[in-house]
Structure 1
Amino acid sequence: MGNKIFLVLLVVGVPLSIIGSILHWPTILMFVVYCLTIIALASLMGRATESLAIVMGPRIGGLLNATFGNAVELIISIFSLKAGLLGVVLASLTGSVLGNLLLVAGLSFFVGGTKFKRQTFNVFDARHNAGLLIFAIGLAFVIPEVFTQNMSHNRTMSLSVGISIILIFLYLAALFFKLVTHRGVYQPTEKTKQVEHEEEVPEWSKKTAIAVLFGATLIVAYISEKLVHTFSIVGETFGWSELFIGVIIVAIVGNAAEHASAILMAYKNKMDVAVEIAVGSTLQVAMFVAPVLVLISLFFPINMPLIFTLPELIAMVTAVLLIIMISNDGESNWFEGLTLLAAYVIMGIGFYLL
């Protein structure tokens, strides 16, 4: 039933997005059309991810989903950078971190927990990810804010570029560690293996699933570029600040693919994939997407240093500490999911009123 609704949204939404942008329909109407179409495309990407996770394993399936999902985020951010909206870009990166760690993980734990009393996932992956989260957000994001108080813009950019290169290098090293040198050393839980064996018939073949992911990402890229141009008018109409649009709206729409996929995986008790999507996507945003945007900004008139506002930093660091405390035992339940969601709502209210 759900797939049929998303399919209708997709078939109607893509043509309307193209026609509406050509005929210059009202901005608020197009904002809604773009958002719904991106969410429908995200559902398609979620189904492709599930097929890939069955064929290629939870790590690669989750990684591919996060990568294609974050490709959307990267594309939206590049267009925003080009338009000089640095505040929206940094806020959307903050929103991605908060959205993945609190909203996506929270909904996954909650939805899965309402069906299963106790769900387990790979505790070794959880601890490995915890260290990287502390490094990327607790260290690499905080250092520029602390060290650049009295620095010139050029020195601030030099520090940001240096940290960005280190983050990208360590992220690639982490992938090499998980997928090559230590692949299979830390095995999934027995329960997860049983679930994978029970449901091992993919909806699509590997080639079809990758083609669907790629095609959906291209269409999302086109619609995302149109969506960016609606932000200023939508913000003025509803009284939303640039910060709120970036942290909540852009982050939720830009990460809709991960949201749909992770919740679907958790509902089917495939928690290794769900956690890999939520936390793996956060790491990719912090250690790859954000640094790449800093480097890309060097080619635009306005450069973007890796400096977040104090509320953004505190929100991200708090979210990291909370997810580590909750996920470090390799188990989850509905109450832990509710705790993460409550934290997200508190931060959302804060950013709205800021």
Structure 2
Amino acid sequence: MVNKIFMIATFVGVPLSVIGTLMHWSSILMFIIYCLTIVALSSFMGRATESLAIVAGPRIGGLLNATFGNAVELIISIFALKAGLVGVVLASLTGSVLGNLLLVAGLSFFVGGVKFKRQSFNVFDARHNSGLLMFAVIVAFVIPEVFSYEMTKGETLSMSVGISIILMALYLAALFFKLVTHRGVYQHSEGGNEHEEEPEWSQKKSLLILVLATLAVAYVSENLVHTFETVGESFGWTELFIGVIIVAIVGNAAEHASAILMAYKNKMDIAVEIAVGSTLQIAMFVAPLLVLISLLFDTKMPLVFTMPELIAMVTAVLLTIIISNDGETNWFEGLTLLAAYLIMGIGFYLL
């Protein structure tokens, strides 16, 4: 039933997005159409990556989900950079970190915990990811903010470029570690019947749908960016709120849906890999890549966040590490993460 609704929304939303853009419909109306269309397209991306995850395993499946899910946000951010909306891009990166660690993980733990009293996942992966989260957010994001007070804009940008290259190199090394040199070293068996499950689509069909959905999202996202200014003025939303909450939720809709579905099926390894793996990809690959891409545009983007953004991200990382480091979860821990997200959401709305 839900899949039919998303299918109808996709086949209605994509043509409406094209027609509305060509006929210059109201920005507020188009903002709603664009957002709903991206969410509907993201559902197809989620189903395709779920099919691939059954064939390829939880780590590669989670990585694929995070990558194609983050592709949506990357596309939105590139067009926002081109439009000079650096504040929106930095805020959307913050929103992705908060959304994945608190909203996605929180909903996954809560939904899965309601059905199963106790759920477990690979504790070794959790601890490995904890170290990377600490490095990516607390070291690589905080250091530029602190040092930038004593630097010129040019020096800050140079430092951001250097840090970005280091982050991307370490992220690629982390993938090599998990998928090549230490693949299968820390095994963990889940309670589900994933080996008996049949994928919804074949591997070729899944990849084709992923590519087509990503191309459609790219078109819709480019037009979505042009509605931000009008929508912000109409509803009294700041660039910070649009980026942290709206863009982050819409841009990460694919992994939101997939992670919750995996948790409901008691496939916590995949759910955690999507939530935490997506955060690591945002912090260690997408954000640095956007810094480098911004060098091609008139407005450059240093890797310097505002103090509220930094404090929110550091808090989310520490809370996630404390909750997930034992390799087990339940509905109350999920509710704790959701409560933290709501508190931060109120703060960013009123800021």
Deviations 1:36-83 (A, max 9, x none): 111111111111111111000011111011111111111111111111
Which residue type is aligned with residue 114 of structure 1?
V
Instruction: Tell me how large the CA RMSD over aligned residues is.
Output: 0.8
Deviations 1:222-268 (A, max 9, x none): 10111000000000000000100000000000000110111111111
Which residue type is aligned with residue 299 of structure 1?
L
- Pairs within 5 Å for 1:126-275: 126-188=126-188, 190-192=189-191, 194-198=192-196, 200-275=197-272
- The aligned residue for residue 313 of structure 2 is 316
Which residue type is aligned with residue 353 of structure 1?
L
CA contact (8 A) 2:171 2:285 kept: yes
Which residue type is aligned with residue 244 of structure 1?
F
For 2:208 and 2:269, the matched residues in 1 are separated by: 24
Please report how far the alpha carbon of residue 87 of structure 1 lies from its aligned counterpart in structure 2 after TM superposition: 0.3
Please report how far the alpha carbon of residue 191 of structure 1 lies from its aligned counterpart in structure 2 after TM superposition: 2.9
CA contact (8 A) 1:119 1:269 kept: yes
- The aligned residue for residue 53 of structure 2 is 53
CA contact (8 A) 1:195 1:269 kept: no
**Residue 299 of structure 1: SS of its match in structure 2?**
coil
For 1:70 and 1:197, the matched residues in 2 are separated by: 27
Please report how far the alpha carbon of residue 154 of structure 1 lies from its aligned counterpart in structure 2 after TM superposition: 1.1
For 1:265 and 1:304, the matched residues in 2 are separated by: 36
For 1:345 and 1:34, the matched residues in 2 are separated by: 24
- The aligned residue for residue 38 of structure 2 is 38
Which residue type is aligned with residue 316 of structure 1?
M
1:67 is aligned to 2:64 = no
Which residue type is aligned with residue 234 of structure 1?
V
- The aligned residue for residue 9 of structure 1 is 9
Please report how far the alpha carbon of residue 195 of structure 1 lies from its aligned counterpart in structure 2 after TM superposition: 2.7
Query: Aligned residues: percent identity?
Result: 79
CA contact (8 A) 2:17 2:30 kept: yes
CA contact (8 A) 1:195 1:270 kept: no
- Pairs within 5 Å for 1:106-125: 106-125=106-125
CA contact (8 A) 2:259 2:275 kept: yes
Question: Normalization by structure 1: what TM-score?
Answer: 0.98
**Residue 193 of structure 2: SS of its match in structure 1?**
helix
**Residue 190 of structure 2: SS of its match in structure 1?**
helix
Please report how far the alpha carbon of residue 208 of structure 1 lies from its aligned counterpart in structure 2 after TM superposition: 1.1
**Residue 150 of structure 2: SS of its match in structure 1?**
coil
For 2:84 and 2:262, the matched residues in 1 are separated by: 37
Question: Normalization by structure 2: what TM-score?
Answer: 0.99
Which residue type is aligned with residue 334 of structure 1?
W
Deviations 1:65-113 (A, max 9, x none): 1111111111111111111111000000000000000000001111111
Which residue type is aligned with residue 123 of structure 1?
V
CA contact (8 A) 2:262 2:270 kept: yes
| Segment of structure 1 superposing worse, 258-267 or 306-315 | 258-267
For 1:325 and 1:128, the matched residues in 2 are separated by: 13
CA contact (8 A) 2:54 2:195 kept: no
Which residue type is aligned with residue 5 of structure 1?
I
CA contact (8 A) 1:102 1:323 kept: yes
CA contact (8 A) 1:27 1:234 kept: yes
In structure 2, stretches of 5+ residues that fail to align are none
CA contact (8 A) 2:69 2:251 kept: yes
CA contact (8 A) 2:190 2:267 kept: no
Please report how far the alpha carbon of residue 212 of structure 1 lies from its aligned counterpart in structure 2 after TM superposition: 1.0
For 1:32 and 1:186, the matched residues in 2 are separated by: 45
**Residue 191 of structure 1: SS of its match in structure 2?**
coil
For 1:266 and 1:225, the matched residues in 2 are separated by: 32
For 1:18 and 1:316, the matched residues in 2 are separated by: 36
Which residue type is aligned with residue 238 of structure 2?
S
Please report how far the alpha carbon of residue 197 of structure 1 lies from its aligned counterpart in structure 2 after TM superposition: 2.5
Number of positions where the alignment pairs a residue of Structure 1 with one of Structure 2: 351
Find runs of 4+ consecutive structure 1 residues off by over 6 angstroms: none
Deviations 1:261-294 (A, max 9, x none): 1111111111111111100000000000000011
- The aligned residue for residue 88 of structure 1 is 88
For 1:195 and 1:111, the matched residues in 2 are separated by: 19
Please report how far the alpha carbon of residue 150 of structure 1 lies from its aligned counterpart in structure 2 after TM superposition: 2.0
Which residue type is aligned with residue 109 of structure 1?
F
1:288 is aligned to 2:288 = no
In structure 1, stretches of 5+ residues that fail to align are none
- The aligned residue for residue 304 of structure 1 is 301
